[in-house]
Structure 1
């Protein structure tokens, strides 16, 4: 029997490193702090890969009926009843082990890359402490044995995000972006908490192992209870999905993610492209059995929210000029793909293709999107600008960045036979079998993705060569080595036998490449690349003329359909003016006025009677005598009347 006791070290090491660098980092030289953080993450990565190999390929996770959930470590933190208790522990199953590989790989690459990118930045040690805190939070989230433990680490991820986005705390836009991310996700997380409480109230448990048993789950007891025409389990699961939609920036809770690009570029790669934003996808996958068997209506909602978000974000990405914002909207679109796949998935065998495809695309997307962000960081590091309009011809100066970025662009565009081709094709197959409308949306998104990614690529590395203040140069090896590692992963991660590793019923199954869908999706991707080639490979005024011809529609898309302005209008004009101001007036003029009047009356009465405690013996004696005389007279009066 293989022992997985060492897996406790996987989340503990980053926690220890956070405490070490957070408390004593100022005593260390910046390079030493970075090396310590990177070394600890290197150990975590080795342990994560060892766990994956032993679980999947050595047989440590295989039982008689497929892969099993193993709990090598667990203890009870709070016990409410015999069954309702909050435990903290480590759970290993196919999707948690897969996420260990994703998180550790991307985090290690970001740690190494940041040694070069963040060199000379004030607060270098603080940056590595925050990276370690985020890694601990995300690892704790995916290893959670129960939904409440997941919620604890879910909130820690939010704190980590706030700290890292606002790393440049002297920059007003970074502070505003960090607050925006924190507030928006807190609203979503409130829904998540309500969903947890409803689910635990009716089932009497937080435990994933109990909640996700298709035959014996106590969730079945909720099926007959309804509220406002919807079953209680549907209410609970839509609230849980609200938390996932906030963390994964699904429409209409997407507004925080593009602004989060104000943080350092390695943060964008780690949190807002590869790991944090897929936490919502992971949450839906973790509770997939509950959604599929007892909240099928909410599963359908998840599919349509994912489809709309993917199209909505892809359209906006076409108009953006900041390279990090293009990649941010690309992330929104790709996360939408994953949500759609979970929403259309069945349960057993090939019917679970959507679930498998969502996890498969999560895995491949983490590699090529981290590569895209780190490649963008390499470009920004060279030209000191985020705007494509200030870039061009950089392939001559940055050959490694150019080639690795091109590989990532080809991968996300679904070019055969790179990893993105395999994972995206499976999502399209699942969508086609569920709904032709959903398939048509994602088919269009495939073409848009190829177009906006190669619009970005040609503008940065080809197009019009700019007059730079300083001649651009390739980034140092500490930045280019992670690019090459991620490029390798982007090419070959698609060849992992995911159908044998991840499925909703944890049983291996077989799928074959669906050429009837794969060929058209490749063709529309190539069409998008070809259109970008024509419009952007060489300097041309055609794109500007096309934008001008679209008039107000282009302007609306460029301003992200004015969703941020709508939120500000609702917040300032409605909530602040129509709700908050009347409440504030009532608080000042009624509540405060009543309390002030009460205080004034009390003070007035005390002023009147304080003379009774003057400390003068004569007055006390006179008062005493008057009291005695009064009592005697009162007694005589009552005796006379009797």
Structure 2
């Protein structure tokens, strides 16, 4: 069963990719979609077997891969609770996106290629989450990077899509470089990259650190790792390794400073945004940190850094989302912000809470993206919310499903209970975990995530009000053709709506409640002093209520700005033009990178091309030699005129020169004899 879950999407990719033209678009759609749906159904079976059964871990060896000295790597599947949670997320969202795409991409002439890419991405992500060693995880890691490049740039006729695909690829290479170095560091320290062996060797060190005896854990012992010319002891080495691993997570999960690729990735078809940039690929970094939680627990410094960047990302992306006008970019920045929440939970040690928010977020964020696609489909490809408005009565099904997604994202529920939409349960738990955390950045994270909750509510309701309420702002000819999406696009919205409503309430207990131990069975780190989950029940009531208050405040402000007094936001933007432009231009981080990295790199490349390669290498090398030979032969050719009198004249000049030389040489010799 587990082999089928992983490899059925690969089979679909091969069929559609190699034989798509022969079998046609419809057959390609049906084959890839059917195989991914089967994989999704099997994933739910595995979820209940592993999560709610007695089995803690299943390892399935597929083949021997690499054996070289101490490096012994097999391609095998690691199936535990964390794996099956990710299998459900990846395959469920992928299956619904496949179904949705049948309607959304119906008129595209390259549908077979598109569905092949979707299945390739799904296989790569499944390879990542089922990895039993770090090399296999890196294979899936790079696989989803390749697939995202192909999908973002699917409409390659658009220069903006090509640029966005390249940007995503390059920015992720920065993070992947750190991830690769982190894997090398793990191998040097543990002499293996197999997860079971790493986790088996970690408990002694984990226990020492947990009891505060870092010296006993080797923190001041002999050097175990050389990095950048420094010899590092065990404690410092583990911090460096974890930070390098987190660098990979920052790139893949679009954390602050390595986030710039995510909004631009909206250039791809909307189903791509739902699949890659809402529910699966961007959560790979969260999964990786959760999977390697026994290592991150060895370094409180690394966990503090994770918390800091998560909180900063949550607030940064929320502030930028306030003023964006592209409907997909608003949701993209929301994704960026919610990923920050997940890293906050991981950083304070509440790993199951972070994974739970990943789980619930997949449903309501995929729902929001697919609803946005339904809106774009209805208004003839328009994505600017300023040219929408008044769509509520024209596309009521899309409106109400998007309303469900918005209620889940903003965290609507009954305070001091566990009754509410999915985001209410999981996001509030992250905020409470940040308050209960004990690292140096936990209080910083608490206040920033509370503030981000208010901003999230504001920009989410702003999107809803601008798109569906008020007077229509689209051209008359567009409004005449507004229509509801076909059922093949609406059915996935209905299914995701169920998840957005009920996923939080249905799975809260096993993820971080009373059924925690029986559900996770050691798949996530839980040290002897890790009482963060117990502390969630003891946080003050004002902490529990604060996200709800911020949510309600954001809703009221958005209602006043965009329903009651639509002129107010325009007036505020004019009065605070500097702040408005600062947010509209995303804190000018893209411009800063352009000035620091892109322009110098372009200048250096152009200089090496024109001066180094063109003038020096080619000029003194092949081109220079060829030019000199050509010059000489040009002069020689001029001597071959074909006229007899030219040759006679040349002979006469030669004879005269020879006689002259003989005369002078004879005089010189005679003079010497006297």
Residues 597, 406 of structure 1: alpha-carbon distance in 2 compared, 3 angstrom cutoff: closer
Asked if the contact 2:391–2:468 (Cα under 8 Å) also holds between the matched residues in 1, the reply is yes
- After superposition, the C-alpha distances for 1:407-448 in whole angstroms (9 at most, x for unaligned) are 111111111111111111111111102232221111000111
Residues 128, 506 of structure 1: alpha-carbon distance in 2 compared, 3 angstrom cutoff: farther
Asked if the contact 1:211–1:217 (Cα under 8 Å) also holds between the matched residues in 2, the reply is no
Structure 2: 5+ residue stretches without partners: 210-216, 414-419, 634-674
Q: How many residues are paired up?
A: 583
Asked if the contact 1:248–1:281 (Cα under 8 Å) also holds between the matched residues in 2, the reply is yes
1:539: Cα distance to partner? 6.4
Secondary structure of 1:464's counterpart equals coil
Asked if the contact 2:61–2:74 (Cα under 8 Å) also holds between the matched residues in 1, the reply is no
Partner of 2:102: 115
Larger Rg: 2
Secondary structure of 1:395's counterpart equals coil
Secondary structure of 2:155's counterpart equals coil
Residues 595, 203 of structure 1: alpha-carbon distance in 2 compared, 3 angstrom cutoff: farther
Distance 1:119 1:513 in 2: 53
Partner of 1:245: 250
Distance 2:315 2:231 in 1: 31
Secondary structure of 1:96's counterpart equals helix
Partner of 1:452: 459
- After superposition, the C-alpha distances for 1:221-251 in whole angstroms (9 at most, x for unaligned) are 7874365596222222211111111011111
1:74: Cα distance to partner? 4.2
Say which is worse superposed, 434-443 or 368-377, in terms of deviation. Answer: 434-443
- After superposition, the C-alpha distances for 1:102-157 in whole angstroms (9 at most, x for unaligned) are 00110011011111111010101111000000000000100000011000111110
Asked if the contact 1:393–1:463 (Cα under 8 Å) also holds between the matched residues in 2, the reply is yes
- Equivalent residue for 2:14, pick from 12, 19, 22: 19
- After superposition, the C-alpha distances for 1:13-65 in whole angstroms (9 at most, x for unaligned) are 1111101000001122322221211110111011101111111223233xxxx
Asked if the contact 1:191–1:243 (Cα under 8 Å) also holds between the matched residues in 2, the reply is yes
Distance 2:29 2:609 in 1: 50
Partner of 2:320: 316
1:296: Cα distance to partner? 1.8
1:292: Cα distance to partner? 1.1
Partner of 2:133: 146
1:452-471, aligned counterparts within 5 Å?
Answer: 452-466=459-473, 467-469=475-477, 470-471=480-481
Say which is worse superposed, 184-193 or 441-450, in terms of deviation. Answer: 184-193
Secondary structure of 2:74's counterpart equals strand
Secondary structure of 1:396's counterpart equals coil
Asked if residue 236 in structure 1 is aligned to residue 241 in structure 2, the reply is yes
Asked if the contact 2:453–2:547 (Cα under 8 Å) also holds between the matched residues in 1, the reply is yes
Distance 2:449 2:262 in 1: 21
Residues 364, 572 of structure 1: alpha-carbon distance in 2 compared, 3 angstrom cutoff: closer
Asked if residue 373 in structure 1 is aligned to residue 369 in structure 2, the reply is yes
Distance 2:96 2:163 in 1: 28
Asked if the contact 1:223–1:233 (Cα under 8 Å) also holds between the matched residues in 2, the reply is no
Asked if the contact 2:293–2:525 (Cα under 8 Å) also holds between the matched residues in 1, the reply is no
Say which is worse superposed, 227-236 or 187-196, in terms of deviation. Answer: 227-236
Asked if the contact 2:183–2:245 (Cα under 8 Å) also holds between the matched residues in 1, the reply is yes
1:464: Cα distance to partner? 2.2
Partner of 1:505: 525
Partner of 1:29: 24
Partner of 2:337: 333
Asked if the contact 1:21–1:128 (Cα under 8 Å) also holds between the matched residues in 2, the reply is yes
Residues 114, 538 of structure 1: alpha-carbon distance in 2 compared, 3 angstrom cutoff: farther
Secondary structure of 2:392's counterpart equals helix
Say which is worse superposed, 534-543 or 89-98, in terms of deviation. Answer: 534-543
Distance 1:171 1:602 in 2: 45
Asked if residue 576 in structure 1 is aligned to residue 602 in structure 2, the reply is yes
Distance 1:537 1:335 in 2: 30
- Equivalent residue for 1:419, pick from 415, 419, 422: 422
After TM superposition, where is structure 1 displaced by more than 6 Å over at least 4 residues in a row?
217-223, 506-510, 597-604
1:497-536, aligned counterparts within 5 Å?
Answer: 497=509, 498-499=511-512, 500=516, 501-502=519-520, 504-505=524-525, 512=537, 515-536=541-562
Asked if residue 383 in structure 1 is aligned to residue 373 in structure 2, the reply is no
Partner of 2:306: 302
Residues 222, 129 of structure 1: alpha-carbon distance in 2 compared, 3 angstrom cutoff: farther
Asked if the contact 1:223–1:232 (Cα under 8 Å) also holds between the matched residues in 2, the reply is no
- After superposition, the C-alpha distances for 1:315-368 in whole angstroms (9 at most, x for unaligned) are 0000000000000000000000101111111xxxxxxxx211100000000000
1:350-361, aligned counterparts within 5 Å?
Answer: 354-361=350-357
Partner of 2:295: 290
Secondary structure of 1:440's counterpart equals helix
User: Structure 2 length as normaliser, TM-score?
Assistant: 0.82
Aligned-pair Cα RMSD in Å: 2.5
Residues 599, 239 of structure 1: alpha-carbon distance in 2 compared, 3 angstrom cutoff: farther
Partner of 1:275: 280
Asked if residue 157 in structure 1 is aligned to residue 144 in structure 2, the reply is yes
- Equivalent residue for 1:396, pick from 393, 405, 410: 393
Distance 2:244 2:551 in 1: 36
Secondary structure of 1:537's counterpart equals helix
Asked if the contact 1:202–1:222 (Cα under 8 Å) also holds between the matched residues in 2, the reply is no
Asked if residue 406 in structure 1 is aligned to residue 403 in structure 2, the reply is yes
Distance 1:506 1:528 in 2: 36
Asked if residue 89 in structure 1 is aligned to residue 79 in structure 2, the reply is no
Secondary structure of 2:297's counterpart equals helix
Secondary structure of 2:499's counterpart equals helix
Secondary structure of 1:394's counterpart equals coil
Partner of 1:478: 488
1:191-202, aligned counterparts within 5 Å?
Answer: 191-202=178-189
Partner of 2:654: none
User: Structure 1 length as normaliser, TM-score?
Assistant: 0.86
Distance 1:447 1:170 in 2: 40
Partner of 2:504: 494
Distance 2:153 2:42 in 1: 31
Asked if the contact 2:125–2:144 (Cα under 8 Å) also holds between the matched residues in 1, the reply is yes
- After superposition, the C-alpha distances for 1:376-419 in whole angstroms (9 at most, x for unaligned) are 00000000200101111111011111111011111111111111
Asked if the contact 2:99–2:488 (Cα under 8 Å) also holds between the matched residues in 1, the reply is yes
Residues 221, 210 of structure 1: alpha-carbon distance in 2 compared, 3 angstrom cutoff: farther
Say which is worse superposed, 222-231 or 184-193, in terms of deviation. Answer: 222-231
Asked if the contact 2:311–2:444 (Cα under 8 Å) also holds between the matched residues in 1, the reply is no
